[in-house]
Chains A and B, each alone.
Chain A
Amino acid sequence: MTAIVDLDGVTFSYGDTVAVSDVSLTVEEGEFLGLVGPNGSGKTTLLHLMLGLHDPDGGSVELFGRPVEEFDDGGRIGYVSQKATSRGGAMPVTVRECVTMGRFAHAGRGRLSETDRAAVADAIETVGIGDLADRLVSELSGGQKQRAYIARALASDADLLALDEPTVGVDAESRDAFYALLDELNGDGITVILIEHDIGVVTDRANRIACINTELYHHGDTESFVESDALGEAYGATGQVVHHHH
Chain B
Amino acid sequence: MSGETPTDGERDRPRSDPVGPGRGLRRTAELAGIGLTGVVAAVMLSFLLLYWAQDLPVASELYAAFRSIGRAMDAAFGTNVFRHPIMWQSMAVGVLVGVVAPLVGSFLVHREMALIGETLAHTAFAGVAVGILVTSATGWSGSLLLVALAVGILGALGVQWLTERTDAYGDVPIAIMLSGSFAVGTLIISYGDGLTGVNIQGYLFGNLAVVTPDGARLMGALSIVVVAAVALTYKQLLFITFDEQAARVAQLNVTGYNTLLVVLTAVVVVGAMQVLGVILVAAMLVVPVAAASQVARSFRETMYLGVIFGQLSVIGGFAVSIGLGLPSGGSIVVTAIAVYLATILGSGSSVKAISTHG
Chain A residues with a Cβ under 8 A of chain B = 51-53, 71-75, 77, 79-81, 83-84, 88-94, 96-98, 101, 104-105, 107, 109, 132, 134-136, 138-144, 152, 156, 162, 170-171, 173-174
Do A88 and B250 contact each other (CB < 8 Å), given the known contacts A109-B233, A141-B10?
no
Q: How far is the CA of A53 from the CA of B232 in the complex (A)?
A: 26
Do A173 and B242 contact each other (CB < 8 Å), given the known contacts A74-B249, A109-B233?
no
CB of B245 within 8 A of CB of A134, answer no
CB of B6 within 8 A of CB of A101, answer no
Instruction: Report B-chain residues with C-beta under 8 Å of the C-beta of A132.
Output: 11
With CB as the reference atom, state the residue of chain B lying closest to A175.
Answer: B8
A sample of 17 cross-chain residue pairs with beta-carbon separation below 8 angstroms, ordered by A number, consists of A53-B245, A71-B251, A72-B251, A73-B251, A74-B250, A75-B250, A77-B249, A83-B245, A91-B241, A91-B293, A91-B299, A92-B293, A93-B298, A98-B242, A134-B297, A141-B11, A143-B8
Do A88 and B5 contact each other (CB < 8 Å), given the known contacts A52-B249, A101-B239?
yes
Instruction: Report B-chain residues with C-beta under 8 Å of the C-beta of A105.
Output: 250-252
Instruction: Report A-chain residues with C-beta under 8 Å of the C-beta of B138.
Output: none
Which of A89, A94, A144 contacts B8 (CB under 8 A)? A144
Q: How far is the CA of A88 from the CA of B297 in the complex (A)?
A: 16
In the complex, what's the smallest C-beta–C-beta distance from A55 to chain B, in angstroms? 12
Which of B8, B235, B249, B298 contacts A92 (CB under 8 A)? B298
Instruction: Report B-chain residues with C-beta under 8 Å of the C-beta of A80.
Output: 246
Do A97 and B8 contact each other (CB < 8 Å), given the known contacts A73-B251, A81-B246, A83-B245?
no
Instruction: Report A-chain residues with C-beta under 8 Å of the C-beta of B9.
Output: 171
Do A84 and B245 contact each other (CB < 8 Å), given the known contacts A101-B238, A104-B239, A174-B8?
yes
What total of A-B pairs shows CB separation below 8 Å? 121
CB of A101 within 8 A of CB of B246, answer yes
Instruction: Report A-chain residues with C-beta under 8 Å of the C-beta of B6.
Output: 139-141
Q: How far is the CA of A98 from the CA of B2 in the complex (A)?
A: 19
Which 4 A-B pairs have CB atoms at the shortest separation, nearest pair first?
A74-B251, A74-B250, A90-B352, A79-B249
In the complex, what's the smallest C-beta–C-beta distance from A90 to chain B, in angstroms? 4
CB of B8 within 8 A of CB of A88, answer no
CB of B245 within 8 A of CB of A90, answer no
Starting from the known contacts A101-B243, A101-B246, 12 additional A-B residue pairs (CB-CB under 8 Å) come to A73-B251, A81-B246, A84-B246, A92-B293, A92-B299, A94-B299, A97-B299, A101-B239, A101-B242, A104-B252, A135-B15, A139-B2
Do A97 and B238 contact each other (CB < 8 Å), given the known contacts A92-B293, A92-B297, A92-B299?
yes
Instruction: Report B-chain residues with C-beta under 8 Å of the C-beta of A73.
Output: 251
Asked if B354 CB lies within 8 Å of chain A CBs, one says: yes
CB of B296 within 8 A of CB of A92, answer yes
Instruction: Report B-chain residues with C-beta under 8 Å of the C-beta of A74.
Output: 249-252
Give 1 or 0 for each of B145-156: 1 = CB within 8 Å of chain A CB: 000000000000
Q: How far is the CA of A51 from the CA of B245 in the complex (A)?
A: 10
In the complex, what's the smallest C-beta–C-beta distance from B358 to chain A, in angstroms? 15
Residue of A83, A91, A139, A152 with highest tally of chain B CB at under 10 A:
A91
Instruction: Report A-chain residues with C-beta under 8 Å of the C-beta of B299.
Output: 91-94, 97
Do A90 and B293 contact each other (CB < 8 Å), given the known contacts A97-B299, A107-B235?
yes
Instruction: Report B-chain residues with C-beta under 8 Å of the C-beta of A81.
Output: 243, 245-246
Asked if B67 CB lies within 8 Å of chain A CBs, one says: no
CB of B245 within 8 A of CB of A171, answer no
Instruction: Report B-chain residues with C-beta under 8 Å of the C-beta of A94.
Output: 297-299
Chain B residues numbered 150-192 whose CB sits less than 8 Å from any CB in chain A: none
CB of A141 within 8 A of CB of B8, answer yes
Q: How far is the CA of A173 from the CA of B11 in the complex (A)?
A: 13
CB of B242 within 8 A of CB of A134, answer no
Chain B residues numbered 212-240 whose CB sits less than 8 Å from any CB in chain A: 232-233, 235-236, 238-239
CB of B353 within 8 A of CB of A79, answer no
With CB as the reference atom, state the residue of chain A lying closest to B232.
Answer: A109
Chain B residues numbered 293-307 whose CB sits less than 8 Å from any CB in chain A: 293, 296-302
Do A138 and B298 contact each other (CB < 8 Å), given the known contacts A109-B232, A109-B233?
no
Q: How far is the CA of A135 from the CA of B19 in the complex (A)?
A: 11
In the complex, what's the smallest C-beta–C-beta distance from B114 to chain A, in angstroms? 13
Q: How far is the CA of A206 from the CA of B238 in the complex (A)?
A: 34
Do A90 and B354 contact each other (CB < 8 Å), given the known contacts A75-B250, A109-B232, A138-B2?
yes
